Chains A and B, each alone.
Chain A
Amino acid sequence: MKSTACSINARPSLGDLRDLSQQLQRDADVSGSSLRHRDRRIGQELVTCQDKPAAQVKGWLQEMRALTGDLRGDRVNVMRRLGLLALGVAGLFVGWGAAAVVLRYDGSQPVNIIHFLAVFVVLQLVTLVFFGISMLPPAVTRFLPGMTTAQEGIGLLSPGRLQHLMNRFLPQSYRDTTASLVGKGLAHHRLYGKVDRWVVVHSSQFFACCFNLGALASCLYLVTFSDLAFSWSTTLQLDATDFKRWTDILSAPWAPFFADGRPSLDLIERTRYFRLNEGTFPTSVTPAGLGGWWPFLVMCLAVYGLLPRLVTLLATQLRLRSVTRRTFLHLPGVADLLVRLNTELVETQAAEPETDGGPRRQGPGTPVGQGQMTGQTAEVVNWAAAADDPDSLRARLREVDELEVSGWHEAGGATAPAVDQQVIAATSGSSVMILVKGWEPPMEDFLDFLRALRQAGDTQRALHVTPLGAEPNHLIMWQKTLSRLGDPWLTLSRLEGEDS
């Protein structure tokens, strides 16, 4: 992807959010090194989107979908659209039905405009106020006692919650994905809570819009295809002038450009209806005059019902989008992901896997003894100048360890390998004690010497390796290494007085 402009749509959907969350949770079990490798490679392909984090994360998600093949956020989007469709259809039917009931006219009594205004203006304005309350941010509700409870109560009545209900009737595979749509069953619910809330609110506003559209369509249908007679009737002390004042207030938004939508005083006076005079209409009014209210009623429905809901639908749509985007970019793990995508991959680890030490480490055990040379006679080899004061050590061997030293030889260390051969030849008929530095590891050089020593002369003569100044861990090292030789006549000896 080497184009100069970022071609990825930076707007994340709910399905993207769900997939991102799922993939980040999976990544929690992957090593940091693997993640850095994978994400830096993807980041280099998305270099044109470097200044657009949402687009970059979306691009990364596309790549992960292709890699894993089991991120099914698309189902969330499908279910969301299906849910909205179902809510929309329900809203249209309910709206149509409500208008049909309110505008029901069988010729016996006219349609009371007060009923219409109560249902389609006052009630809608009340629900709008409820909506306003439920939208108050915590910063405000904190100072208003009982407001949080009121918000929760209003929330329970929201038609958007029908989406949760519908989820129960879906197959299990879809139920899982839709559960994430409403933010359940996922980690980080504190972030999803907001998305969930705005999904419900947006769905509610969509339902309300469809309700008003249904009512408007029903109203227009009835006006067009039936002969409606409107009148107004109330028990309240309200005369035509008072009522005119109310209708003027209600029609103020459209009166300047749609005069027919404002009822005249004459129409109001002539269409007042008293139920005591059942079956009689004001005498002076013509049937056409009784229908003269419809432009006002349609405009009321459009302006006080549909229009505010269109505005709230748009506002909640934008808010849902913004909350989704914000959540998308602030899920735990996204900041780290962006760092991995955009910063150089620094690697220091091995290019090839570690192997163990190989066959060199195999072999039977050799017992570790102590003081086995007491009372014996032996040739002593001072390997690599292990004894830095040979004279005092010889004396000590004689006095403390009761060892008769028949010969003293220097080998290993700074001496040439040829000297080793001379020592081997010189000691071929006797038991041999080899003094070594306990703190130094036994190397192949020394093991070669031991092998050669064994092959020269009596194959069953005692060979004693005696580490000087060895700590317990050194002794283990010597014991294990010498065991590789598989020599039953070879022992690891310690001098008397040297602590093990």
Chain B
Amino acid sequence: MSTSPQFAVVGHPNKGKSSIVSTLAHDDSVLVGELPGTTTRCRHFPMKVDGEVLYTLIDTPGFQRARSAWAWLQEHETTADQRPELVRRFVAEHAGQGSFPDEVELLQPIMEGAGILYVVDGSVPYGPEYDAEMEILRWTGQPRLALINPIGQADHIEAWRTALGQYFSVVRVFNAVTADFEKRVELLRAFGQLQEEWRRPLQRAADNLEADRRRRREAAARTVAETLAEMLSLKVTRTIDPEDEVDPAKAELVIKYQQRLEALELAARQAVESAYDHHDLDRRESSLDDLVAQDLFSAESWRIFGLSRRKLLGIGAVGGAAAGGAIDLAVGGTSFLLGTLIGSGIGAATTFFAANSLVDVKLFQIPMGRKKLVAGPTKNRNFPYVVFGRARLHHALVSGRSHAQRGELDLDEQARALMPSLPAGENRLLEKFFSRLRGRRDVVSSTERLAEVIARVFKQDEAADS
């Protein structure tokens, strides 16, 4: 028998047991079925750190014949100190027989020492049919915690609190679908309150989960930074014969360039989802390809994710002012801040006249009358902000998405509501590293520094969300 704490997630069928397990175990392989009785066997979810099990969650089948099981226990009632032994006898006598397969399956781990996490749905009224289940659990003598999981409108929580409070020492409301990471870890710590010797392993588990979460966030940020670096340096070339027409070849090259951008973005999306253990997410998002086909400053999505021309001008002016300020400093202020003023003017003007289209195709003559067409790298100032804005929204939704959540990830729908603007300091840093990457300066260190800034932004987004 394992010495680490175990927790059996039990309850009525279809009240979100599997959702709770799926969320706490970050495992989207758990079947969350519409029909009662989707779970027929116990399934173990050990939380391990380098192979050492700190605790185990056990998803169990729901009670199916609680009344009859309770009647059996009442028929054989003995003194209070013998009740756990009686439940053990019930399990032993009915194991392998057809009358109580679900009750035997769910009570087995409890009688082997697992703590009880009893799950009810706070969106439906309390009913007396639950009494038998709670009585049986009480008779097991094991530490118990009740979770009110409001699957719909949380209209009946108080009635449930009153009923559950009579059987369980701890009663908490926990929505398996919407609970963010902080709430999940907090719940885990609450498990530790059930029994003194469980407190330390669960505290350790919570600390490890938090460190692991940080690493996943940093990995996601590196993925986004590396994708941006690839995109900003992307160059696509094509050689054409003397008799070939240039314009159609140019158009084809631009399409190829956009397809490459899209492939890079898609790979990044999958890598970020994989970093958070979300597999085969059904994602709905406007294609980058469609966006870049439009005017970059007027298209709706560019407006949402990118910066307005005014903001871009501001960033350009600040960058120019910094360079001019360095000159003022070098001449000991004798220029009366003229450097700063001129620098900011130049910075703003450069930004204003910078490329508005995504990419220009350059034409080079090469020997034997052939021509070389080169698309990229992009000089568009708004482009990296749009790519980053989209990546930021995607990360916010993926990192905040519980593994119990089913259905598609609709980025377009949520784009408008979820994009708080960045602090000016972060925007300036982004511009600094975007500019370096565009100019292919210090690519390696700029990418690493950019990843740090992005990780910070991701963390702020998570904190704002919780």
Chain A residues in the interface with B (C-beta under 8 A): 28, 31-33, 40, 44, 138-139, 187-188, 190-191, 326, 330, 332, 335-336, 339, 343-358, 360-361, 384-385, 412-418, 437, 439-445, 448, 473, 476-477, 480-481
Q: A345-B50, A350-B45 are in contact. Are A339 and B128 (CB under 8 A)?
A: no
B111: interface (CB < 8 Å): no
Contacts of A330 in B (CB 8 A): 444, 447-448
A346 to B208, CA, bound (A): 7
Contacts of B33 in A (CB 8 A): 357
Tell me which residues from 271 to 289 in chain B have a Cβ below 8 Å from any Cβ of chain A: 271, 274-275, 277, 279
Q: Which residue of A lies closest to B21 (CB)?
A: A350
B278: min CB distance to chain A, Å? 9
Q: Are A348 and B37 in contact (CB under 8 A)?
A: no
B449: interface (CB < 8 Å): no
Q: Which residue of A lies closest to B444 (CB)?
A: A330
B12: interface (CB < 8 Å): yes
Tell me which residues from 218 to 262 in chain B have a Cβ below 8 Å from any Cβ of chain A: 218-219, 222, 226, 229-230, 233
A88 to B275, CA, bound (A): 49
User: Which of B25, B68, B127, B443 sits near A384, CB closer than 8 Å?
Assistant: B127
Q: Are A346 and B49 in contact (CB under 8 A)?
A: yes
Q: Are B25 and A349 in contact (CB under 8 A)?
A: yes
Q: Are B25 and A350 in contact (CB under 8 A)?
A: yes
Contacts of A437 in B (CB 8 A): 127
Contacts of A33 in B (CB 8 A): 277
Q: Are A417 and B25 in contact (CB under 8 A)?
A: no
Contacts of A444 in B (CB 8 A): 37, 64-65, 102
Which 3 pairs, one residue from A and one from B, show the smallest C-beta to C-beta distance? A441-B36, A414-B128, A444-B64
Contacts of B62 in A (CB 8 A): 443
Contacts of A448 in B (CB 8 A): 65
Tell me which residues from 1 to 41 in chain B have a Cβ below 8 Å from any Cβ of chain A: 12-14, 24-27, 29-31, 33-41
B75: min CB distance to chain A, Å? 10
Contacts of B36 in A (CB 8 A): 441-443, 477, 481
Q: A357-B37, A357-B40, A480-B35 are in contact. Are A346 and B48 (CB under 8 A)?
A: yes
User: Which of A188, A344, A414 sits near B50, CB closer than 8 Å?
Assistant: A344
User: Which of B37, B64, B229 sits near A190, CB closer than 8 Å?
Assistant: B229
A414: min CB distance to chain B, Å? 4
User: Which of A339, A344, A349 sits near B27, CB closer than 8 Å?
Assistant: A349
A188 to B267, CA, bound (A): 14
A286: min CB distance to chain B, Å? 56
Q: Are B233 and A477 in contact (CB under 8 A)?
A: no
Q: Are A355 and B68 in contact (CB under 8 A)?
A: no
Q: Are A477 and B124 in contact (CB under 8 A)?
A: no
B264-306 vs A: 1/0 string, CB under 8 Å? 0001000100110101000000000000000000000000000
Tell me which residues from 335 to 349 in chain B have a Cβ below 8 Å from any Cβ of chain A: none
Q: Are B26 and A349 in contact (CB under 8 A)?
A: yes
A349 to B212, CA, bound (A): 14
Q: Are A350 and B37 in contact (CB under 8 A)?
A: no
Chain B: interface size category: 35 or more
A168 to B63, CA, bound (A): 72
Q: Which residue of B lies closest to A383 (CB)?
A: B129
B328: interface (CB < 8 Å): no
Q: A345-B48, A348-B45 are in contact. Are A413 and B34 (CB under 8 A)?
A: no
Q: Which residue of A lies closest to B29 (CB)?
A: A354
Can you name 24 A-B residue pairings with CB atoms under 8 Å? Answer: A138-B441, A139-B441, A190-B229, A190-B440, A191-B443, A326-B444, A330-B447, A339-B218, A345-B48, A346-B48, A348-B27, A348-B48, A348-B209, A351-B45, A354-B43, A357-B40, A361-B37, A412-B129, A440-B12, A441-B14, A442-B36, A445-B64, A477-B14, A481-B35
Chain B residues in the interface with A (C-beta under 8 A): 12-14, 24-27, 29-31, 33-41, 43-51, 62-68, 71, 102, 124, 127-129, 131, 208-209, 211-212, 215, 218-219, 222, 226, 229-230, 233, 267, 271, 274-275, 277, 279, 440-441, 443-444, 447-448
A187 to B16, CA, bound (A): 45
Q: A477-B34, A477-B35 are in contact. Are A355 and B443 (CB under 8 A)?
A: no
Contacts of A473 in B (CB 8 A): 34
Q: Are A350 and B49 in contact (CB under 8 A)?
A: no
A233: min CB distance to chain B, Å? 41
Q: Which among A33, A339, A440, A444 has the highest number of chain B CB atoms within 10 Å?
A: A444
Q: Are A356 and B31 in contact (CB under 8 A)?
A: yes
B272: min CB distance to chain A, Å? 10
B53: min CB distance to chain A, Å? 9
A4 to B168, CA, bound (A): 53
Q: Are A360 and B40 in contact (CB under 8 A)?
A: yes
Q: Are B124 and A349 in contact (CB under 8 A)?
A: no
Q: Are B208 and A445 in contact (CB under 8 A)?
A: no
A40 to B26, CA, bound (A): 19
A472: min CB distance to chain B, Å? 12
Q: Are B41 and A414 in contact (CB under 8 A)?
A: no
Contacts of A339 in B (CB 8 A): 215, 218-219
Q: Are A349 and B129 in contact (CB under 8 A)?
A: no
A476 to B14, CA, bound (A): 14
User: Which of A343, A440, A477 sits near B127, CB closer than 8 Å?
Assistant: A440
A360 to B41, CA, bound (A): 12
A158 to B134, CA, bound (A): 84
Q: Which residue of A lies closest to B234 (CB)?
A: A190
A346 to B43, CA, bound (A): 19
Contacts of B222 in A (CB 8 A): 332, 335-336
A142 to B274, CA, bound (A): 41
Q: Are B229 and A40 in contact (CB under 8 A)?
A: no
Q: Are B26 and A441 in contact (CB under 8 A)?
A: no
Contacts of B218 in A (CB 8 A): 339
B282: min CB distance to chain A, Å? 17
Q: Are A347 and B48 in contact (CB under 8 A)?
A: yes
User: Which of B129, B226, B440 sits near A414, CB closer than 8 Å?
Assistant: B129
B273: min CB distance to chain A, Å? 9
A412 to B218, CA, bound (A): 54
Q: A350-B30, A352-B43 are in contact. Are A416 and B71 (CB under 8 A)?
A: yes
Q: Are A28 and B267 in contact (CB under 8 A)?
A: yes
User: Given A343-B211, A417-B67, list of 18 further CB < 8 A pairs?
Assistant: A190-B233, A190-B443, A330-B448, A336-B222, A339-B215, A344-B208, A345-B50, A350-B25, A350-B27, A350-B29, A350-B30, A352-B44, A357-B39, A384-B129, A413-B129, A415-B67, A417-B68, A445-B65
Q: Are A32 and B274 in contact (CB under 8 A)?
A: yes
A139 to B62, CA, bound (A): 68
Q: Are A413 and B127 in contact (CB under 8 A)?
A: yes
Q: Which residue of B lies closest to A471 (CB)?
A: B152
A197: min CB distance to chain B, Å? 13
A367: min CB distance to chain B, Å? 18
Q: Which among B12, B129, B131, B447 has the highest number of chain A CB atoms within 10 Å?
A: B129
